[in-house]
């Protein structure tokens, strides 16, 4: 095999592998976020209202803060 093929084929394989890996990881991450959206203040309000409570802004912020600390 020629020397230039021994040099260029691994480089091309690395570049193609990096592009494919980036694409697949981006696709997986978007799918994960679509199935498991991050919790926001509106979701907390909805959960509290479903439990029969009228949440104040202070309560919503406390829950958000405790969830951020638990990460």
Each residue's pLDDT tens digit, 1-55:
789 999 999 999 999 999 999 999 999 999 999 998 888 999 999 999 999 989 9
CB 41 within 8 A of CB 64: yes
CB within 8 Å of 55: residues ≥ 6 apart: 44, 45, 48, 49
Segment 42-70, tens digit of pLDDT: 999 999 999 998 999 999 999 999 988 88
Total-model pTM: 0.59
């Amino acid at each position: 095999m020629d020397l230039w093929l021994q040099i260029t084929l691994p480089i091309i394989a690395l570049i193609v592998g990096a592009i494919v890996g980036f694409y697949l990881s981006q696709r997986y991450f978007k799918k994960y976020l679509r199935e498991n959206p991050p919790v926001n203040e509106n979701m907390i309000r909805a959960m509290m209202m479903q439990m029969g409570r009228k949440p104040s802004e202070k309560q919503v912020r406390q829950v958000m803060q405790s969830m951020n600390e638990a990460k």
